[in-house]
Chains A and B, each alone.
Chain A
Amino acid sequence: MKTSRRKFIKQTILGTSGTLLVPHFLKALESQSSGLFPSAEKILVVIQLSGGNDGLNTIIPYQNDLYYQLRPQLGIRPDKVLKISNELGFHSALTGLRELFDDGSMAILNNVGYPNPDRSHFRSMDIWHSASDANTYKTTGWIGRYLDSSCSSCHSAHRAIEVDDTLSMALKGNSIKGLAMKNPQKLYQATHNNFFEAISNQNVVHPGTESTLHYLYKTMAEAVSSAEFIYEKSRVQQSKVEYPQNEFSKRLKTVAELIHANINTRVYYLSLSGFDTHTNQEAQQQRLLHTYADGIRAFVKDIGDTRMEDVVIMTFSEFGRRVAENGSGGTDHGTANNVFLISKSLKKKGFLNDMPDLSRLDQGDLIHQLDFRSIYATLLNKWLEVPSEKILNGPFPVLDFI
C-alpha cells in the first residue's frame, strides 16, 4: 500500500509539470502517510433522513395509550413492533438494526431538537446544518467550520466528503469546504477532461495572491488533485459485501470503499429522502426504513468489527412529525425526534434518555429535551478532537456516549 501511494505521488509530480498548488497538497499527504498505517483517525458518518422522519413510528412507544389514541389508524399495533424494551420497540422494517442494538453497537437519543422549533423543511434543515439558533442565519455549516478550525493549512478538499452531486451547507466552512461526489469515478471523469486539466495545469497561480480568481484556481486544483488521489486509492478497493440494490446502499458502499482505502477523510455525509409523509405514510415509511436499515447493516458488516471501532454513524432528520395523525393517512410536520448512533466504540448503549412525554405537548408537538448541538459538541470534542465551542458558537453540554 505504502509503495503504491509513493508511486502515485511521484507520478503526479511528474505528470504535472511543476505547477499549481499540487505540491503543497502532496506534501501534506506525504507527511500524513509517513505516520501510522492504517490510519487510526476517527471517522464520522452523518446520515440525513430528509423530509422529516416520523420518529414515533420508528421507535414506537407500544405501551402508551396516548400514542394509540392520537394515532387510531397509523399507530403500529404491539404485535407488529420489534420489542426492545418494556416500553419501546423498533418499526418492523428495522430488523437490520436489531442485531446492532443487541450487541451494544447502537444508542438512541430521544426527543432531540432545539428551542423555538421551525416546522419548515428548509429552515429546520438549515438550523441543523448551520447549528444556529432558530432566530439566527448563517451561511456556513458545522462540519465546514470544523474543517476551518482543524485544517486551516490543509490543501486537500476531501477531509469531508458528501456523497452527492452538490454540497450541503453543513459542509461549507468560511475558508474550507468539503467535497461533493457521487463516486470516485464520476468525480475523476468530471475533473479530468482535457480542457480542465489544461487550464488547471498550465496556469501558474501564485499562492498568497488572495484575489478571487486565485481562489477559483485553488479550488479547481484541489478538486483535480483530490479526484485523482481518491480515484487512484479507491479503485483497488472492491467491496465484497453484498448491499441491497438501491441508490442509498450504493452510496454507503462508496463510503465503505473510501474508508477501506484510507484516504484521510474524517467526515462522510449522506442523505436519504422521501420522509415527508403527509399521505400514505405506512407504505412509504416502511419502504424507506427498510432501505435505511438494510443499507446500514451491510455497511457495518463491510467495515468490519475492528474498523467500526473508529467509525460513528449518526442519523438525524430535520424534525419529527405531529403526534396526532392527520386525516389522510399521514402526519404533518412536527418538532423533536430521535437520533441514532452506531459504532463499536460506544460507551453508553441502548436508550440514553427518556422516551417522549405524550401527555405534555406544545400545540400537538413533542417538547424537545436534548439540544442537537450537544450531540455535535460531543462528536466534535470527543471524536473528531477539536474544541466545539467556537464551531457551535457557544458551549453545549457534552454527552458521555463516546
Chain B
Amino acid sequence: MVLKKNDKHFLQRAAFGPLISANPVDLNISNWMKESAENRPIRVVEKPQITPEMLKASKENAKQIIVKSRDQLIKLNVSWINQIGEPAAALREKMTLFWHDHFACRVRSAWLAQQQNNTLRLHAMGSFRDLLFAISKNPGMLQFLNNQQNKKDSPNENFARELLELFTLGRGNYTEDDIKNSARALTGWAFNPLSGEYIFREKVHDYGIKTFKGKTGRFSGEDILQMVLEDKQTARFITEKIWDFFVSNEIRDADIITTLAETFFQSGYQLESLLGEIFTSTWFYDPRYVGNRIKSPVELLVGITSQTGGEFQNPQAPVFIQRALSQVLLLPPNVGGWPSGTGWIDSSSLMFRMSLPSVLLKKMETDIEPKDDGDANNETNVAGAGRLGLTVNWKRLANIFTRSTAEESLDVIEHFLLAKPATTANKNIIRGQTGKSQNDPEFIQRAFIGYMSLPEYQLS
C-alpha cells in the first residue's frame, strides 16, 4: 500500500478515497480514468406492465402500486449505493452522483427512477450536450417538473424555469420572458404513462413565434436547448459546479475557471476532457484544496464501506443510515439538490457522523431516529437500532496494514484513511485507544475506528 501524496488527493476526489482492493503503485491518471469509467446500468427494477385500466383504477390499487414502487425504490437505492464504491466504476459513479444532484429529481415510479439514473450514468462522462438533451426528454424529469402538463393552451413553466435557472445558465442570465417563451417551445414534451417512454405531443405543442434571448422564430424545444448550449454562460455554469464538487467548495479561482470553461465550450462540452484537465493540472494539488472539502453523507458512508470492504448484514441498513444523515439517494430535497460543504454540518449531524464508524464497525447501538417526512407512504424505518453493522474481514485488513511496529502500522492506516495528516494530539489519542501491541486481534479494528472517528475523516 504505497500512495503518493498527489495520488491520494486524486483518489479522494475522483473516487471515494484510496481502496484496499486497488493498490496504485504508480498511478497513471488517464489510465485510471479509463479503467474506472465502466458504464454499468442498474437493472433491478422490472418494467411494470401498465394497462389503461390500471391508470383509471381505484385509490386502493393506486396505493398498492405506490407501496410496491417504494419497496423497489429502496432496492434501487441499495443497488446503487453498493455499486458506487466499486473501483471499476468509481469515477463514472461519482459523476452520476454529481448529475443526480445537479438534475435533482424525485421520481415516484421506481422504473422511471431507474431509467433516469441509467440515463445520467450513460452520459455522465460523455458530452454535456447529449446529457442535456437526454435528461430533458426523460420521463422522470418531465413528470417531476410538470412538463406533462405543459400545453399550448395552458403552459406550465416549471421545467423551463429550472432548465435555465438550475440546469444551464444560472440565475440572472435570462429574463422572465425567456422563461415564458422557452416554456412555450417545450410544450408537448411528454411521456406515455403506459410505455414509460418520451413522446412528442404535436397537438399540444405551440408552433407559434417565440422570442428567446433576443432571437425570434418558431422555436422548438430542441432549438431552445441548442441556443442555451451556444451561450458560453452554460459552459461556465457547469464548470463552476464541477469545480465546487471536485476542487473546492470554499474557494473559486476565477481565472482558472474561465480557462476551463472556455476549453470545455470549445470541446463541444466534453466532460471527460474537462475532468482530465482538472486532475492532471498542478493547481488541483495545491495544499489549500487538499483535505479541505466536507464529504457528503453518501461520500462518507461509501468511504467507510469501501475503505474497509465491509458488507451490511441487513441490506436495508444503508437506507436507514442515509435517512439519519439526511441524504437519501433518489430522494433529493428539491430540484435545487442537496446542501454542500459546511451546509452538512451542525452539532448533531457532526456528532452522529463521527460516531458512525463505531456504529458500523463496532456494531455500537444507536437510538437515533431519522425525521418522519410527513408522507404516509414513506416509511423506511426498517432497520432499527443495533442492526446497522458492517461485516468486515479484519484479518484481511491486518494482512494489508500490519508493519513491523505498531507505530508504523498506525501511520500506514492514517495515511490510507485521512486526506491530511492528523495532529500529534490525535495521533496520541488513537495510540492510546489501540494499545501498543499489534498482536492484539482488535488492534487493526480499533485503529480504523479511531481514525475514521476523527473530524479529519469528514474531509476529503
A positions within 8 Å CB-CB of B: 50-52, 120-123, 125-126, 135, 137-139, 157, 164-169, 171-172, 177-181, 186, 190-191, 195-196, 198-199, 202-203, 211-213, 215-217, 219-220, 222-223, 226, 271, 273-279, 318, 326-328
Contact = CB atoms under 8 A, between A and B. Distances in A.
Given A179-B346, A215-B342, A222-B347, A276 B374 contact: yes
Given A122-B106, A191-B351, A177 B346 contact: yes
A203 B423 contact: yes
B59 A328 contact: yes
Interface string B89-116: 0000000000000000010000000000
Nearest to A177: B346
B429 A212 contact: no
Contacts of A219: 345-347, 350
B351 A199 contact: no
B170 interface: no
Contacts of A169: 333
B349 interface: yes
A258 to B, nearest CB: 16
A50 B373 contact: yes
Contacts of B331: 122
B136 to A, nearest CB: 19
Chain A contact surface mostly: mixed
A378 B331 CA distance: 34
What 3 A-B pairs are tightest by C-beta distance, nearest first?
A137-B336, A223-B347, A276-B376
Nearest to A167: B346
Contacts of B60: 328
A133 to B, nearest CB: 12
Contact of A165 (B369, B426, B433): B369
B370 A177 contact: no
A157 B374 contact: no
A50 B372 CA distance: 8
Given A137-B336, A165-B370, A166-B370, A276 B375 contact: yes
B334 A123 contact: yes
Interface in B354-380: 354-355, 367-377
Interface of B: 58-60, 63, 106, 161, 166, 249-250, 291-294, 324, 326, 331, 333-336, 339, 341-343, 345-352, 354-355, 367-377, 420, 423, 425-426, 428-429, 432-433, 450, 453-456, 458-459
B459 to A, nearest CB: 6
Nearest to A135: B161
Contacts of A138: 336
A123 B331 CA distance: 12
A219 B326 CA distance: 18
Contacts of A179: 346-348
15 contacts: A51-B372, A137-B166, A166-B349, A167-B349, A180-B348, A195-B433, A195-B450, A202-B429, A203-B426, A213-B420, A216-B455, A220-B354, A271-B371, A274-B372, A274-B376
A52 B454 CA distance: 40
B341 A190 contact: no
B64 to A, nearest CB: 12
Contact of B345 (A135, A215, A279): A215
A139 B348 contact: no
A278 to B, nearest CB: 6
A139 B343 contact: yes
Nearest to B292: A212
B347 A220 contact: yes
Contacts of A190: 351, 355
A193 to B, nearest CB: 8
A52 B374 contact: yes
Contact of B342 (A126, A167, A212): A212
Contacts of A277: 376
A212 B294 contact: yes
Given A137-B336, A213-B455, A125 B374 contact: yes
B347 to A, nearest CB: 3
A179 B459 CA distance: 22
B384 to A, nearest CB: 13
A212 B454 contact: no
B334 A217 contact: no
A164 B324 CA distance: 12
A203 B432 CA distance: 15
B252 to A, nearest CB: 15
Given A199-B429, A271-B372, A167 B348 contact: yes
B227 to A, nearest CB: 22
